[in-house]
Structure 1
Amino acid sequence: MSCNGQKKEEKIIEGDKKNSNVQNQQKIIAVDNLVSLTKINCQQENSDLPNYLINCKNFNVSNSIIEASDRNRYELITFVFHDIEKAIIRKINNEDLETSPPIVFSSKTDKNYIIFFPINGDSHFGWKLYFYKNKVLYPLGQRVMYWKPEHEESDLNYSDILNIYEADNNIIVEIPIKYVIENDNDYKNYPDYFDGKHYKKGDKVYYEFSTLKMEYYKKYKNGLFEGDYNKMINNKIIDLIK
């Protein structure tokens, strides 16, 4: 019986190895078949943070902080296109991770946009990633990362170190490992900022966000939420914020 049990255990181990190899191959395939997204040049008209206004080719983006009648604080980020006005609403009570003016990328069709909102801090950085498709703003995911100590005091610019790609219904953020503490355990202080698959290849680290089953809003355990303001109101997820 012990011999039979051992054979079963060996088969399980062999199966795990095969599954692991398949997963690794899928990761390598994803990384090797990347389509680079094009960064859109946007001009920043107002830099009186936390408020901003930037003008891009087909739209402009601005934000405002709302002290609402319900005593909550919100950030409203408005996108004005030629044919439609859309907005992201974020409930930001007690939120220490503030975003900066976004970096905008266009897809190969120039119809969809990836909006990358930097998150800035003393020792950490990260992003909120949005996908604009069919006139809906989808929150794809968010991530908090930590600078390696030698880069904490530097003036590194997100645009200088990151690349964003499309691959097999995924949006992938690529960052050189030399700048970041790559171990995910370092992010445990921000459990709500742990989205996206994470892996590395060579001297790069990759964060992968699926575009297959996107939702137009997110709600978090700490009571915060964000998403497409128009869709959330029309579907009675939230009331009009006054």
Structure 2
Amino acid sequence: MKKIITILISFFLLSCQGQKKEEEKNSKKETSTSEVSSKSDNTKNLLQLTKINCYEESTESTNYTLNCKNFTVSNTLIEGSDQNRYELITFVFNDIEKAIIRKINNEDLETSSPIVYFSNTSKNYIIFFPINGENHFGWKLYLYKNKVLYPLGQRVLYWKPDYEESNINYSDILKIYETGDNILVQIPSKYIIKNDNDYQNYPNYLDGKYYEKEEKSYFEFSISKIEYYKKYKNGLFEGDYNKMINNKIIDLIK
């Protein structure tokens, strides 16, 4: 009789454990589904930023001058007295002059004249710098907020062979959105190679979260906790020149 009771108790305990495991499994599934839904929700309630019309003065050198409403953008390549190479990108507004400084040397990729976007909601500017290079390379992304220039992040992208030789450029297909504390860069997925072994040659160029939805590729950058400069392990840096000097992050470039 005792043996029968022991068997029944053991069977009951095993049944409870099995039910508990099944409940935990279902709970994990719900959590996973919730995370996916939450991630997809980042592409809802988006506010599209307005692209600012700018006129680029013709130039035969690597330098450029961009005339936009309310400000101008120009760049200068500098061979420093310390034998390093820098790029200074100057923004001249009606009430203030700001600059981005980049230590570029031979390891970084230079950029061409930017595409500028404006938020009618937050009144901030997003500045998209295409990277110079063949095959429609990636970009550097900046935020101009409260008279400070913030580097948000950078990506390296290769376009699919069908579009490498085309006349299409970022200005034609790019859309910039804001949602909450995030900025989203949207590019149709058909243009870009999502995974390329050559990415490993640019280890500092995979900033931002990446995901896809409805044949669109999204690159998400947070603006809630950002610094006005970035320094990389290879000794390169970039950021708001004025604030970096005032806070003694770097010395005046000569």
In the alignment, what sits opposite 1:73? 85
Corresponding residue to 1:120 among 124, 128, 132: 132
Contact 1:118 1:128 in 2 (8 A): yes
Bigger Cα Rg? 2
1:211 is aligned to 2:211: no
CA RMSD of aligned residues (A): 2.1
1:179 is aligned to 2:186: no
Paired with 1:41 and 1:160, the residues of 2 have a C-alpha distance of 13
Percent same amino acid at aligned positions?
Answer: 68
- Cα distance change of structure 1 residues 35 and 240 upon mapping to structure 2, 3 Å threshold: same
Structure 2: any 5+ residue segments left out of the alignment?
A: 1-12
- Cα distance change of structure 1 residues 22 and 224 upon mapping to structure 2, 3 Å threshold: same
Paired with 2:112 and 2:41, the residues of 1 have a C-alpha distance of 33
- Give secondary structure in 1 for the equivalent of 2:57: strand
Aligned AA for 2:117?
F
In the alignment, what sits opposite 2:166? 154
1:59-118 Cα distance to aligned partner (Å, 9 max, x none)? 000000000000000000000001110000000011352200000000114731000000
In the alignment, what sits opposite 2:152? 140
Structure 1: any 5+ residue segments left out of the alignment?
A: none
1:194 is aligned to 2:174: no
Paired with 2:162 and 2:148, the residues of 1 have a C-alpha distance of 40
Contact 1:146 1:180 in 2 (8 A): yes
Paired with 2:202 and 2:62, the residues of 1 have a C-alpha distance of 22
Corresponding residue to 2:71 among 59, 68, 79: 59
Report the more deviating stretch, 38-47 or 231-240: 38-47
In the alignment, what sits opposite 2:106? 94
In the alignment, what sits opposite 1:25? 37
Normalising by structure 1, we get a TM-score of 0.92
Paired with 2:159 and 2:87, the residues of 1 have a C-alpha distance of 26
Size of the aligned set, in residue pairs, is 242
Structure holding more strand per residue: 1
Contact 2:174 2:185 in 1 (8 A): yes
Paired with 2:132 and 2:20, the residues of 1 have a C-alpha distance of 51
Corresponding residue to 2:54 among 14, 24, 42: 42
Contact 1:146 1:186 in 2 (8 A): no
Normalising by structure 2, we get a TM-score of 0.88
Structure holding more helix per residue: 2
Paired with 2:168 and 2:21, the residues of 1 have a C-alpha distance of 50
Paired with 1:42 and 1:234, the residues of 2 have a C-alpha distance of 30
Contact 2:131 2:137 in 1 (8 A): yes
